[in-house]
C-alpha cells in the first residue's frame, strides 16, 4: 500500500508524507473508490512537525499502512511523544486515525460533530475506515501549542469545508493548509457556502504568509518549500470567476483555459486530473444556483 509513498523534508523538522499522482497505479482496486479516484489520483500529503522527541502529525493519511509508515518514521527519528491534528473531517485525512488511537487527537469541535454525523457512512465506505477513531481534544477557534521549542498555532478557516483547520508556524511564516488551498484548484464540497469561502480566503490573505504546504499539490513544489501566497489568490479567483460565469450563463471551458492566467503566472500548475474536479465544481455550483 505504501510502495509509492515518499518522505520529503521541505523545511528542517517539517516532514511531508506524499503519495499519489503516479500514472497507472491504483492502491485499492480497479473499481471506483474514494482512495484511488480522489486522494491518490490528485496526490496527497500528510505532515509532521518535529522538534526533539516531540512530533505533531497533521492528518493521518489515506490508510492504516500510510499512518503506520508515518509513525515508524517518527519513531526512527527518536520521537517518543506524538500528537495528531485533524485538518477537517473528510475520509482521506482521517483514515489512519486508528494507528494513533493512543495519542492525543486534536480537532475542531465542528470536525468532531461532522465525524459523528457521518460515522456510519465513513466506516462503510469503499475502502472502509473501521473503526473510525474520534478526536479526543477539541477546540472552537484557535489553539496555541508547542512542539519541543517550536511555536505552533491552529486556526479555524471555513474554506472547502466548514470545519477547515490550518496550522500556522508564526516564526517561520509557514502555513500548513490542509484542503483550504489546492493546486490546481479547490474542490468545492459545499457549493452553497462559496461566499463564505471567498471571505475566508480574503481573511487568510491578510496574514504574513511566506510559504504554503497544502495537502493536495505538486510533489516537487512541496519538496522545494511549497507555494507562495499567490496560491490563495488563485483559489479565490477561481471561485469568484466560476460563480460569476454560472450566474451569467456563460459557457465554461476546461480548467486549463479557465485558470490560464494563474497557471501562466506560476501560482498554480495544471494537473490533468483536476479537470474532473473542475467539471464536478461546475455541476455542484449549477445545482446550488438552481436551488437558490
For residue 50, what is the domain's CATH number?
3.60.15.10
Q: Which helix (H) or strand (E) holds 165?
A: strand 165-169
Give the cell for residue 189: 464540497
Looking at the domain assignment, is residue 1 inside a domain?
A: no
In a domain, 78, yes or no: yes
Provide, for the chain, the percentages of residues in helix, strand and coil under a 3-state DSSP scheme, each rounded to the nearest 5.
40, 25, 35
Whether the Cβ atoms of residue 180 and residue 164 lie closer than 8 Å to each other: yes
Confidence of residue 289 (pLDDT cuts 50, 70, 90): confident
Contacts of 17 (CB under 8 A, 6+ apart): 5, 6, 7, 8, 45, 46, 47, 48, 61, 66, 69, 70, 73
Q: pLDDT tens digits for 100-150?
A: 999 999 999 999 999 999 999 999 999 999 999 999 999 999 999 999 999
**207 pLDDT band (50/70/90 cuts)?**
very high
| Count of domains forming the chain | 1
**pLDDT (tens digit, 9 = 90+) per residue, 218-245?**
999 999 999 999 999 999 999 999 999 9
Q: Is residue 68 part of a domain?
A: yes
Domain extent at residue 72: 6-291
pTM of the model: 0.97
DSSP category for residue 178: E
Return d(Cα 26, Cα 29) in angstroms, integer. 6
Residue 184: phi and psi, rounded to 5, are -90, -35
Could you tell me whether strands 137-139 and 142-147 are parallel, antiparallel, or unpaired per DSSP bridges?
unpaired
- Would 47 be classed as within a structural domain? yes
Q: Per DSSP, what are the bridge partners of residue 143?
A: 154
Amino acid at each position: 500500500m505504501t510502495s509509492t509513498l515518499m518522505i520529503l523534508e521541505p523545511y528542517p523538522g517539517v516532514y511531508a508524507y506524499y503519495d499519489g499522482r503516479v500514472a497507472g497505479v491504483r492502491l485499492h482496486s480497479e473499481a471506483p473508490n474514494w482512495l484511488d479516484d480522489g486522494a491518490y489520483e490528485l496526490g496527497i500529503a500528510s505532515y509532521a512537525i518535529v522538534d526533539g522527541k516531540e512530533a505533531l502529525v497533521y492528518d493521518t493519511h489515506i490508510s492504516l499502512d500510510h499512518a503506520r509508515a508515518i509513525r515508524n518514521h517518527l519513531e526512527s527519528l527518536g520521537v517518543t511523544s506524538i500528537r495528531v491534528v485533524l485538518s477537517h473531517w473528510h475520509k482521506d485525512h482521517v483514515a489512519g486515525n486508528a494507528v494513533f488511537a493512543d495519542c492525543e487527537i486534536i480537532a475542531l469541535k465542528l470536525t468532531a460533530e461532522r465525524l459523528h454525523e457521518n460515522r456510519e457512512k465513513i466506516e462503510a465506505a469503499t475502502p472502509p475506515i473501521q473503526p473510525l477513531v474520534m478526536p479526543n481534544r477539541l477546540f472552537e477557534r484557535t489553539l496555541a501549542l508547542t512542539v519541543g521549542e517550536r511555536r505552533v498555532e491552529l486556526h479555524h478557516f471555513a474554506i472547502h469545508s466548514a470545519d477547515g483547520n490550518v496550522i500556522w508556524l508564526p516564526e517561520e511564516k509557514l502555513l500548513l493548509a490542509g484542503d483550504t488551498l489546492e493546486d490546481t484548484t479547490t474542490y468545492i464540497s459545499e457549493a452553497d457556502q462559496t461566499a463564505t469561502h471567498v471571505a475566508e480566503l480574503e481573511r487568510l490573505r491578510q496574514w504574513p504568509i511566506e510559504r504554503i504546504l497544502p495537502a493536495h499539490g505538486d510533489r516537487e513544489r512541496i519538496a522545494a518549500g511549497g507555494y507562495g501566497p499567490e496560491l490563495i489568490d488563485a483559489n479565490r479567483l477561481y471561485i469568484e470567476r466560476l460563480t460569476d460565469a454560472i450566474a451569467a450563463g456563460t459557457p465554461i471551458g476546461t480548467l486549463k483555459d479557465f485558470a490560464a492566467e494563474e497557471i501562466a503566472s506560476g501560482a498554480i500548475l495544471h494537473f490533468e486530473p483536476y479537470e474532473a474536479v473542475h467539471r464536478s465544481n461546475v455541476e455542484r455550483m449549477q445545482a446550488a444556483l438552481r436551488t437558490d
